[in-house]
Structure 1
Protein backbone atom coordinates (compact mmCIF):
# COMPACT_ATOMS: atom_id res chain seq x y z
CA UNK A 1 0.00 0.00 0.00
CA UNK A 2 1.34 3.39 -1.01
CA UNK A 3 0.47 6.39 1.15
CA UNK A 4 -0.92 9.39 -0.71
CA UNK A 5 -0.06 12.53 1.34
CA UNK A 6 -1.85 14.78 -1.15
CA UNK A 7 -5.13 12.97 -0.57
CA UNK A 8 -4.74 13.34 3.20
CA UNK A 9 -4.88 17.11 2.70
CA UNK A 10 -7.77 16.78 0.25
CA UNK A 11 -9.70 14.65 2.71
CA UNK A 12 -8.84 17.01 5.57
CA UNK A 13 -10.35 19.97 3.72
CA UNK A 14 -13.50 18.03 2.81
CA UNK A 15 -13.93 16.74 6.37
CA UNK A 16 -14.01 20.27 7.77
CA UNK A 17 -17.58 20.62 6.50
CA UNK A 18 -18.64 17.89 8.96
CA UNK A 19 -17.02 19.53 12.01
CA UNK A 20 -20.07 21.75 12.82
CA UNK A 21 -22.34 18.69 12.91
CA UNK A 22 -19.95 16.84 15.23
CA UNK A 23 -19.61 19.83 17.54
CA UNK A 24 -23.37 20.43 17.52
CA UNK A 25 -24.06 16.84 18.57
CA UNK A 26 -21.38 16.99 21.26
CA UNK A 27 -22.28 20.38 22.74
CA UNK A 28 -26.04 19.78 22.82
CA UNK A 29 -25.66 16.29 24.26
CA UNK A 30 -23.25 17.41 26.97
CA UNK A 31 -25.27 20.52 27.87
CA UNK A 32 -28.57 18.63 28.12
CA UNK A 33 -26.84 15.71 29.82
CA UNK A 34 -25.27 18.05 32.36
CA UNK A 35 -28.64 19.52 33.32
CA UNK A 36 -30.27 16.10 33.59
CA UNK A 37 -27.23 14.69 35.34
CA UNK A 38 -27.27 17.50 37.91
CA UNK A 39 -30.89 16.71 38.78
CA UNK A 40 -30.05 13.01 39.06
CA UNK A 41 -27.07 13.76 41.32
CA UNK A 42 -29.21 15.93 43.62
CA UNK A 43 -31.91 13.25 43.82
CA UNK A 44 -29.31 10.73 44.93
CA UNK A 45 -27.39 12.94 47.34
CA UNK A 46 -30.50 14.15 49.15
CA UNK A 47 -32.17 10.74 48.94
CA UNK A 48 -35.39 12.06 47.42
CA UNK A 49 -38.15 9.45 47.89
CA UNK A 50 -38.83 7.38 44.76
CA UNK A 51 -36.68 9.64 42.55
CA UNK A 52 -33.49 8.79 44.47
CA UNK A 53 -33.66 5.01 43.96
CA UNK A 54 -34.92 5.44 40.38
CA UNK A 55 -31.97 7.73 39.63
CA UNK A 56 -29.52 5.22 41.07
CA UNK A 57 -31.02 2.45 38.95
CA UNK A 58 -30.96 4.66 35.85
CA UNK A 59 -27.28 5.48 36.30
CA UNK A 60 -26.39 1.83 36.90
CA UNK A 61 -28.25 0.68 33.78
CA UNK A 62 -26.94 3.39 31.44
CA UNK A 63 -23.34 3.06 32.62
CA UNK A 64 -23.62 -0.71 32.35
CA UNK A 65 -24.70 -0.71 28.69
CA UNK A 66 -22.79 0.49 25.60
CA UNK A 67 -23.41 3.88 24.04
CA UNK A 68 -24.18 2.22 20.70
CA UNK A 69 -26.96 0.20 22.33
CA UNK A 70 -28.55 3.40 23.65
CA UNK A 71 -28.46 4.88 20.16
CA UNK A 72 -30.01 1.82 18.51
CA UNK A 73 -32.69 1.48 21.19
CA UNK A 74 -33.74 5.09 20.65
CA UNK A 75 -33.46 4.87 16.87
CA UNK A 76 -35.65 1.77 16.58
CA UNK A 77 -37.79 2.09 19.70
CA UNK A 78 -38.75 5.76 19.83
CA UNK A 79 -40.31 5.87 16.32
CA UNK A 80 -42.51 2.90 17.23
CA UNK A 81 -43.70 4.71 20.37
CA UNK A 82 -44.31 7.98 18.51
CA UNK A 83 -46.21 6.29 15.68
CA UNK A 84 -48.23 4.24 18.14
CA UNK A 85 -49.27 7.28 20.15
CA UNK A 86 -50.07 9.25 16.99
CA UNK A 87 -52.24 6.43 15.67
CA UNK A 88 -54.04 6.06 19.00
CA UNK A 89 -54.96 9.75 19.12
CA UNK A 90 -55.59 10.10 15.38
CA UNK A 91 -52.72 12.51 14.80
CA UNK A 92 -51.11 12.85 11.38
CA UNK A 93 -47.60 13.25 12.76
CA UNK A 94 -45.25 10.36 12.02
CA UNK A 95 -41.71 9.58 13.11
CA UNK A 96 -40.39 9.67 9.53
CA UNK A 97 -40.54 13.46 9.67
CA UNK A 98 -38.03 13.57 12.54
CA UNK A 99 -34.42 14.25 11.42
CA UNK A 100 -31.99 11.43 12.18
CA UNK A 101 -29.80 13.76 14.23
CA UNK A 102 -32.62 14.15 16.78
CA UNK A 103 -32.42 10.45 17.64
CA UNK A 104 -28.66 10.76 18.05
CA UNK A 105 -29.07 13.77 20.33
CA UNK A 106 -31.60 12.01 22.54
CA UNK A 107 -29.48 8.86 22.82
CA UNK A 108 -26.24 10.73 23.51
CA UNK A 109 -27.96 12.96 26.07
CA UNK A 110 -29.13 9.88 27.93
CA UNK A 111 -25.60 8.48 27.92
CA UNK A 112 -24.02 11.78 28.96
CA UNK A 113 -26.52 12.34 31.78
CA UNK A 114 -25.55 9.11 33.55
CA UNK A 115 -21.82 9.77 33.40
CA UNK A 116 -22.09 13.47 34.16
CA UNK A 117 -24.35 12.77 37.14
CA UNK A 118 -21.41 10.95 38.73
CA UNK A 119 -19.10 13.84 37.93
CA UNK A 120 -21.52 16.34 39.48
CA UNK A 121 -22.19 14.09 42.46
CA UNK A 122 -18.50 13.67 43.25
CA UNK A 123 -18.02 17.44 42.92
CA UNK A 124 -20.90 18.20 45.26
CA UNK A 125 -19.69 15.67 47.82
CA UNK A 126 -16.21 17.24 47.72
CA UNK A 127 -17.61 20.46 49.26
CA UNK A 128 -17.41 20.45 53.04
CA UNK A 129 -20.71 20.11 54.89
CA UNK A 130 -19.59 23.11 56.93
CA UNK A 131 -20.31 25.26 53.88
CA UNK A 132 -24.00 24.34 54.08
CA UNK A 133 -24.07 24.94 57.83
CA UNK A 134 -22.54 28.38 57.35
CA UNK A 135 -25.14 29.17 54.67
CA UNK A 136 -27.94 28.10 57.00
CA UNK A 137 -26.53 30.29 59.75
CA UNK A 138 -27.03 33.41 57.61
CA UNK A 139 -30.62 32.45 56.74
CA UNK A 140 -30.20 30.73 53.38
CA UNK A 141 -32.53 27.92 52.34
CA UNK A 142 -31.12 24.65 51.01
CA UNK A 143 -31.77 25.56 47.33
CA UNK A 144 -30.11 28.97 47.85
CA UNK A 145 -27.11 27.41 49.58
CA UNK A 146 -26.67 24.84 46.81
CA UNK A 147 -26.98 27.41 44.03
CA UNK A 148 -24.84 30.16 45.58
CA UNK A 149 -22.35 28.31 47.79
CA UNK A 150 -22.05 24.61 47.07
CA UNK A 151 -22.53 24.38 43.30
CA UNK A 152 -19.89 27.00 42.30
CA UNK A 153 -17.26 25.20 44.38
CA UNK A 154 -18.34 21.80 43.10
CA UNK A 155 -18.19 23.07 39.51
CA UNK A 156 -14.63 24.31 39.99
CA UNK A 157 -13.58 20.94 41.42
CA UNK A 158 -15.29 19.07 38.58
CA UNK A 159 -13.78 20.92 35.61
CA UNK A 160 -11.09 18.28 34.82
CA UNK A 161 -13.68 15.47 34.88
CA UNK A 162 -16.17 17.57 32.92
CA UNK A 163 -13.60 18.22 30.20
CA UNK A 164 -12.82 14.49 30.05
CA UNK A 165 -16.52 13.73 29.67
CA UNK A 166 -16.81 16.35 26.93
CA UNK A 167 -13.90 14.78 25.06
CA UNK A 168 -15.44 11.33 25.52
CA UNK A 169 -18.71 12.53 24.01
CA UNK A 170 -16.83 14.18 21.15
CA UNK A 171 -15.22 10.86 20.28
CA UNK A 172 -18.47 8.98 20.92
CA UNK A 173 -20.28 11.18 18.42
CA UNK A 174 -18.68 9.06 15.68
CA UNK A 175 -21.36 6.46 16.42
CA UNK A 176 -23.95 8.79 14.90
CA UNK A 177 -23.01 7.51 11.45
CA UNK A 178 -24.86 4.27 12.29
CA UNK A 179 -28.14 6.20 12.04
CA UNK A 180 -27.14 8.04 8.85
CA UNK A 181 -25.92 11.26 10.49
CA UNK A 182 -23.02 12.66 8.48
CA UNK A 183 -20.45 13.68 11.09
CA UNK A 184 -16.66 13.50 10.72
CA UNK A 185 -16.45 9.71 10.72
CA UNK A 186 -19.25 9.28 8.18
CA UNK A 187 -17.80 12.04 6.02
CA UNK A 188 -14.43 10.26 6.01
CA UNK A 189 -16.10 7.11 4.67
CA UNK A 190 -17.90 9.10 1.99
CA UNK A 191 -14.72 10.90 0.91
CA UNK A 192 -12.67 7.68 0.90
CA UNK A 193 -15.26 5.75 -1.10
CA UNK A 194 -14.47 7.82 -4.19
CA UNK A 195 -11.07 6.14 -4.65
CA UNK A 196 -10.78 3.59 -1.79
CA UNK A 197 -8.17 5.62 0.08
CA UNK A 198 -9.64 4.91 3.50
CA UNK A 199 -6.32 5.03 5.34
CA UNK A 200 -5.60 8.59 4.22
CA UNK A 201 -9.17 9.70 4.97
CA UNK A 202 -9.03 8.33 8.52
CA UNK A 203 -5.66 9.95 9.09
CA UNK A 204 -7.28 13.28 8.22
CA UNK A 205 -10.20 12.48 10.57
CA UNK A 206 -7.77 11.58 13.36
CA UNK A 207 -5.94 14.88 12.95
CA UNK A 208 -9.20 16.84 13.19
CA UNK A 209 -10.31 14.95 16.31
CA UNK A 210 -6.88 15.44 17.86
CA UNK A 211 -7.05 19.18 17.17
CA UNK A 212 -10.53 19.48 18.68
CA UNK A 213 -9.41 17.52 21.74
CA UNK A 214 -6.40 19.77 22.30
CA UNK A 215 -8.65 22.82 21.94
CA UNK A 216 -11.07 21.50 24.58
CA UNK A 217 -8.19 20.76 26.94
CA UNK A 218 -6.80 24.27 26.52
CA UNK A 219 -10.20 25.91 27.07
CA UNK A 220 -10.78 23.80 30.18
CA UNK A 221 -7.36 24.80 31.48
CA UNK A 222 -8.07 28.49 30.95
CA UNK A 223 -11.46 28.19 32.68
CA UNK A 224 -9.94 26.31 35.61
CA UNK A 225 -7.21 28.95 36.09
CA UNK A 226 -9.74 31.79 36.01
CA UNK A 227 -11.99 30.10 38.55
CA UNK A 228 -9.04 29.41 40.84
CA UNK A 229 -8.09 33.08 40.68
CA UNK A 230 -11.55 34.03 41.90
CA UNK A 231 -11.45 31.35 44.57
CA UNK A 232 -8.27 32.90 45.92
CA UNK A 233 -9.92 36.30 45.99
CA UNK A 234 -8.09 37.69 42.97
CA UNK A 235 -9.30 39.35 39.81
CA UNK A 236 -9.25 37.74 36.40
Structure 2
Protein backbone atom coordinates (compact mmCIF):
# COMPACT_ATOMS: atom_id res chain seq x y z
CA UNK A 1 0.00 0.00 0.00
CA UNK A 2 1.32 3.40 -1.01
CA UNK A 3 0.70 6.27 1.42
CA UNK A 4 -0.34 9.56 -0.18
CA UNK A 5 1.61 12.11 1.87
CA UNK A 6 0.05 14.97 -0.06
CA UNK A 7 -3.44 13.89 0.94
CA UNK A 8 -2.39 13.71 4.62
CA UNK A 9 -1.64 17.43 4.46
CA UNK A 10 -4.86 18.10 2.53
CA UNK A 11 -6.88 16.14 5.08
CA UNK A 12 -5.08 17.91 7.93
CA UNK A 13 -6.16 21.31 6.60
CA UNK A 14 -9.74 20.16 6.04
CA UNK A 15 -10.03 18.67 9.54
CA UNK A 16 -8.75 21.80 11.32
CA UNK A 17 -12.18 23.54 11.33
CA UNK A 18 -13.54 20.69 13.48
CA UNK A 19 -11.07 21.39 16.31
CA UNK A 20 -13.28 24.00 18.05
CA UNK A 21 -16.16 21.51 18.29
CA UNK A 22 -13.90 18.92 19.91
CA UNK A 23 -12.43 21.49 22.29
CA UNK A 24 -15.86 22.82 23.29
CA UNK A 25 -17.11 19.30 24.04
CA UNK A 26 -14.00 18.60 26.08
CA UNK A 27 -14.08 21.91 27.96
CA UNK A 28 -17.78 21.74 28.85
CA UNK A 29 -17.48 18.11 29.90
CA UNK A 30 -14.42 18.74 32.06
CA UNK A 31 -15.81 21.84 33.80
CA UNK A 32 -19.24 20.32 34.45
CA UNK A 33 -17.62 17.03 35.39
CA UNK A 34 -15.35 18.80 37.88
CA UNK A 35 -18.35 20.34 39.64
CA UNK A 36 -20.21 17.02 39.68
CA UNK A 37 -17.09 15.19 40.85
CA UNK A 38 -16.43 17.71 43.62
CA UNK A 39 -19.96 17.41 44.98
CA UNK A 40 -19.86 13.61 44.77
CA UNK A 41 -16.45 13.47 46.48
CA UNK A 42 -17.55 15.72 49.34
CA UNK A 43 -20.76 13.74 49.81
CA UNK A 44 -18.74 10.52 50.10
CA UNK A 45 -15.97 11.89 52.31
CA UNK A 46 -18.36 13.49 54.78
CA UNK A 47 -20.83 10.58 54.53
CA UNK A 48 -23.83 12.81 53.85
CA UNK A 49 -26.99 10.74 54.45
CA UNK A 50 -28.55 9.45 51.22
CA UNK A 51 -26.33 11.67 49.05
CA UNK A 52 -23.21 9.77 50.07
CA UNK A 53 -24.74 6.43 49.09
CA UNK A 54 -26.16 7.90 45.89
CA UNK A 55 -22.75 9.33 44.97
CA UNK A 56 -21.08 5.98 45.56
CA UNK A 57 -23.66 4.20 43.39
CA UNK A 58 -23.26 6.83 40.66
CA UNK A 59 -19.47 6.54 40.61
CA UNK A 60 -19.56 2.74 40.64
CA UNK A 61 -22.11 2.52 37.82
CA UNK A 62 -20.46 5.08 35.53
CA UNK A 63 -16.95 3.70 36.04
CA UNK A 64 -18.26 0.19 35.49
CA UNK A 65 -19.94 0.88 32.14
CA UNK A 66 -18.53 2.09 28.79
CA UNK A 67 -18.59 5.75 27.82
CA UNK A 68 -20.39 4.91 24.59
CA UNK A 69 -23.17 3.23 26.58
CA UNK A 70 -23.68 6.43 28.60
CA UNK A 71 -23.99 8.44 25.39
CA UNK A 72 -26.51 6.06 23.85
CA UNK A 73 -28.57 5.89 27.04
CA UNK A 74 -28.77 9.68 27.12
CA UNK A 75 -29.42 9.93 23.40
CA UNK A 76 -32.29 7.45 23.37
CA UNK A 77 -33.58 7.78 26.93
CA UNK A 78 -33.54 11.52 27.63
CA UNK A 79 -35.92 12.48 24.78
CA UNK A 80 -38.46 9.89 25.94
CA UNK A 81 -38.29 11.22 29.50
CA UNK A 82 -38.49 14.88 28.50
CA UNK A 83 -41.37 14.31 26.07
CA UNK A 84 -43.29 12.36 28.71
CA UNK A 85 -42.80 15.12 31.29
CA UNK A 86 -43.67 17.79 28.74
CA UNK A 87 -46.92 16.01 27.83
CA UNK A 88 -47.86 15.48 31.48
CA UNK A 89 -47.26 19.05 32.61
CA UNK A 90 -48.17 20.78 29.35
CA UNK A 91 -44.81 22.45 28.83
CA UNK A 92 -44.97 22.46 25.05
CA UNK A 93 -41.34 21.39 24.90
CA UNK A 94 -40.16 18.90 22.28
CA UNK A 95 -36.95 16.91 22.65
CA UNK A 96 -36.37 17.34 18.92
CA UNK A 97 -35.32 20.92 19.67
CA UNK A 98 -32.26 19.71 21.60
CA UNK A 99 -29.11 20.08 19.45
CA UNK A 100 -27.16 16.88 18.96
CA UNK A 101 -24.14 18.33 20.70
CA UNK A 102 -26.33 18.79 23.79
CA UNK A 103 -26.53 15.03 24.25
CA UNK A 104 -22.75 14.84 24.09
CA UNK A 105 -22.44 17.61 26.70
CA UNK A 106 -24.77 15.86 29.12
CA UNK A 107 -23.40 12.37 28.64
CA UNK A 108 -19.71 13.27 28.74
CA UNK A 109 -20.20 15.54 31.76
CA UNK A 110 -21.80 12.69 33.66
CA UNK A 111 -18.95 10.39 32.66
CA UNK A 112 -16.27 12.93 33.55
CA UNK A 113 -17.92 13.60 36.90
CA UNK A 114 -17.56 10.00 38.04
CA UNK A 115 -13.88 9.77 37.14
CA UNK A 116 -13.04 13.20 38.50
CA UNK A 117 -14.83 12.34 41.73
CA UNK A 118 -12.20 9.72 42.46
CA UNK A 119 -9.38 12.09 41.52
CA UNK A 120 -10.74 14.85 43.74
CA UNK A 121 -11.52 12.47 46.59
CA UNK A 122 -7.99 11.05 46.58
CA UNK A 123 -6.57 14.57 46.54
CA UNK A 124 -8.69 15.67 49.50
CA UNK A 125 -7.80 12.56 51.49
CA UNK A 126 -4.10 13.17 50.79
CA UNK A 127 -4.22 16.39 52.83
CA UNK A 128 -3.34 15.83 56.49
CA UNK A 129 -6.49 15.73 58.61
CA UNK A 130 -4.67 17.72 61.28
CA UNK A 131 -4.74 20.82 59.07
CA UNK A 132 -8.53 20.80 59.10
CA UNK A 133 -8.55 20.45 62.87
CA UNK A 134 -6.06 23.32 63.15
CA UNK A 135 -8.38 25.46 61.04
CA UNK A 136 -11.25 24.69 63.41
CA UNK A 137 -9.06 25.66 66.36
CA UNK A 138 -8.61 29.19 65.00
CA UNK A 139 -12.34 29.63 64.41
CA UNK A 140 -12.70 28.71 60.73
CA UNK A 141 -15.87 27.07 59.51
CA UNK A 142 -15.70 23.93 57.38
CA UNK A 143 -16.33 25.82 54.10
CA UNK A 144 -13.62 28.35 54.99
CA UNK A 145 -11.14 25.63 55.89
CA UNK A 146 -11.87 23.74 52.69
CA UNK A 147 -11.57 26.82 50.49
CA UNK A 148 -8.48 28.37 52.07
CA UNK A 149 -6.47 25.37 53.25
CA UNK A 150 -7.67 21.98 51.99
CA UNK A 151 -8.69 22.68 48.39
CA UNK A 152 -5.46 24.44 47.29
CA UNK A 153 -3.32 21.57 48.57
CA UNK A 154 -5.66 18.90 47.21
CA UNK A 155 -5.67 20.62 43.82
CA UNK A 156 -1.88 20.68 43.73
CA UNK A 157 -1.74 16.96 44.47
CA UNK A 158 -4.46 16.16 41.92
CA UNK A 159 -3.14 18.14 38.95
CA UNK A 160 -1.44 15.19 37.18
CA UNK A 161 -4.53 13.01 37.50
CA UNK A 162 -6.82 15.86 36.49
CA UNK A 163 -4.64 16.34 33.41
CA UNK A 164 -5.09 12.66 32.57
CA UNK A 165 -8.85 13.11 32.93
CA UNK A 166 -8.81 16.06 30.54
CA UNK A 167 -6.80 14.08 27.99
CA UNK A 168 -9.14 11.13 28.44
CA UNK A 169 -12.17 13.33 27.75
CA UNK A 170 -10.44 14.85 24.71
CA UNK A 171 -9.94 11.40 23.26
CA UNK A 172 -13.36 10.22 24.41
CA UNK A 173 -14.99 13.11 22.57
CA UNK A 174 -14.47 11.13 19.35
CA UNK A 175 -17.57 9.15 20.33
CA UNK A 176 -19.68 12.24 19.63
CA UNK A 177 -19.81 11.27 15.97
CA UNK A 178 -22.26 8.48 16.92
CA UNK A 179 -24.90 11.17 17.56
CA UNK A 180 -24.06 13.09 14.37
CA UNK A 181 -21.72 15.67 15.92
CA UNK A 182 -18.96 16.60 13.47
CA UNK A 183 -15.84 16.54 15.64
CA UNK A 184 -12.28 15.81 14.52
CA UNK A 185 -12.93 12.09 14.13
CA UNK A 186 -16.16 12.57 12.18
CA UNK A 187 -14.57 15.21 9.96
CA UNK A 188 -11.72 12.82 9.16
CA UNK A 189 -14.25 10.21 8.09
CA UNK A 190 -16.08 12.73 5.92
CA UNK A 191 -12.85 13.87 4.28
CA UNK A 192 -11.72 10.30 3.69
CA UNK A 193 -15.01 9.27 2.12
CA UNK A 194 -14.41 11.59 -0.83
CA UNK A 195 -11.77 9.26 -2.28
CA UNK A 196 -11.54 6.37 0.20
CA UNK A 197 -8.18 7.40 1.63
CA UNK A 198 -9.16 6.58 5.19
CA UNK A 199 -5.65 5.72 6.36
CA UNK A 200 -4.22 9.09 5.41
CA UNK A 201 -7.21 10.97 6.83
CA UNK A 202 -6.96 9.22 10.18
CA UNK A 203 -3.20 9.87 10.28
CA UNK A 204 -4.02 13.57 9.95
CA UNK A 205 -6.62 13.28 12.73
CA UNK A 206 -4.12 11.43 14.93
CA UNK A 207 -1.54 14.18 14.43
CA UNK A 208 -4.08 16.80 15.50
CA UNK A 209 -5.03 14.85 18.62
CA UNK A 210 -1.35 14.33 19.40
CA UNK A 211 -0.71 18.05 19.12
CA UNK A 212 -3.66 18.89 21.38
CA UNK A 213 -2.49 16.32 23.92
CA UNK A 214 1.01 17.78 23.96
CA UNK A 215 -0.51 21.23 24.48
CA UNK A 216 -2.52 19.99 27.48
CA UNK A 217 0.57 18.32 28.94
CA UNK A 218 2.55 21.53 28.50
CA UNK A 219 -0.15 23.65 30.16
CA UNK A 220 -0.34 21.13 33.00
CA UNK A 221 3.40 21.36 33.58
CA UNK A 222 3.20 25.17 33.76
CA UNK A 223 0.25 25.07 36.18
CA UNK A 224 1.92 22.44 38.33
CA UNK A 225 5.10 24.51 38.51
CA UNK A 226 3.19 27.62 39.56
CA UNK A 227 1.19 25.66 42.15
CA UNK A 228 4.37 24.24 43.64
CA UNK A 229 5.89 27.72 43.93
CA UNK A 230 2.69 28.95 45.55
CA UNK A 231 2.65 26.11 48.07
CA UNK A 232 6.28 26.63 49.00
CA UNK A 233 5.46 30.25 49.72
CA UNK A 234 2.66 29.24 52.08
CA UNK A 235 -1.10 29.32 51.71
CA UNK A 236 -2.79 32.52 52.74
TM-score scaled by length of structure 1: 0.98
Query: What residue in structure 2 maps to residue 232 of structure 1?
Result: 232
Structure 2 residue 193 is matched with structure 1 residue 186: no
Query: What residue in structure 2 maps to residue 53 of structure 1?
Result: 53
Query: What residue in structure 2 maps to residue 126 of structure 1?
Result: 126
Where structure 1 has 5 or more consecutive residues not aligned to the other structure, the ranges are none
Structure 2 residue 9 is matched with structure 1 residue 6: no
Question: What CA deviation, in whole Å up to 9, does each residue of 1:8-65 have, x standing for no partner?
Answer: 0000001110000000000100000000100000000000011011111110000000
Question: What CA deviation, in whole Å up to 9, does each residue of 1:125-168 have, x standing for no partner?
Answer: 00001110111111001111011110010000000000000000
Aligned length: 234
Where structure 2 has 5 or more consecutive residues not aligned to the other structure, the ranges are none
What is the CA–CA distance in structure 1 between the aligned matches of 2:91 and 2:129, rounded to whole Å? 52
Q: Secondary structure at the match of 1:140?
A: coil
What is the CA–CA distance in structure 2 between the aligned matches of 1:15 and 1:103, rounded to whole Å? 22
TM-score scaled by length of structure 2: 0.98
What is the CA–CA distance in structure 2 between the aligned matches of 1:215 and 1:41, rounded to whole Å? 28
User: Where does 1:151-162 land on structure 2 (aligned, <5 Å)?
Assistant: 151-162=151-162
Query: What residue in structure 2 maps to residue 80 of structure 1?
Result: 80
Deviation (angstroms), 1:230: 1.0
What is the CA–CA distance in structure 2 between the aligned matches of 1:218 and 1:170, rounded to whole Å? 15
Deviation (angstroms), 1:92: 2.2
Deviation (angstroms), 1:89: 1.9
Q: Which runs of 4+ in 1 moved over 6 A?
A: none
Deviation (angstroms), 1:79: 0.4
Deviation (angstroms), 1:87: 1.3
Question: What CA deviation, in whole Å up to 9, does each residue of 1:145-195 have, x standing for no partner?
Answer: 011110010000000000000000000000000000000000000000000
What is the CA–CA distance in structure 2 between the aligned matches of 1:233 and 1:179, rounded to whole Å? 48
Query: What residue in structure 1 maps to residue 22 of structure 2?
Result: 22
Deviation (angstroms), 1:233: 1.0
How well do the aligned residues superpose, as a CA RMSD in angstroms? 0.8
What is the CA–CA distance in structure 1 between the aligned matches of 2:146 and 2:91, rounded to whole Å? 43
Q: Secondary structure at the match of 2:49?
A: coil
What is the CA–CA distance in structure 2 between the aligned matches of 1:86 and 1:136, rounded to whole Å? 48
Query: What residue in structure 2 maps to residue 173 of structure 1?
Result: 173
